[in-house]
Amino acid sequence: MTPEMVMTLSHQAMYVALLLAAPLLLVSLAVGLIVSLFQAATQINESTLSFIPKLIAIAVTLVIAGPWMLTTMLDYMRHMFTSIPSLAG
């Protein structure tokens, strides 16, 4: 296995991880921003208030984007398993 192959595999792994994490992180960021604006407008200083809306939003995002995320991960794993003979020798 050459260093170029290792770098390619690492790059693909990080790209897939970024693709899978991005929807959840972006939804969590947006909900957190909206809740913090609501807290600033109403002067409610409760730090635990943002957890339930984030949890609900992430669950909805997983229901909506879950099939796409699963397909992406399965395609990546299928590609990795089929490329094992060429990587080994």
Query: Taking the model in full, what pTM does it have?
Result: 0.82
Q: What is the pLDDT of residue 46?
A: 82
**Which of these, 67, 74, 65, 75, lies nearest to 24 by C-alpha position?**
65
**In this predicted model, what pLDDT tens digit does every residue of 11-44 receive, in sequence order?**
999 999 999 999 999 999 999 999 999 998 988 8
| Rounded Cα–Cα distance for residues 49 and 17 (Å) | 29
What pLDDT shows up at residue 17?
97
Relative orientation angle of helices 51-82 and 3-42, to the nearest 10 degrees: 170
- The predicted model gives 44-67 an average pLDDT of 92
pLDDT of residue 89: 67
Classify residue 12 by its DSSP letter.
H
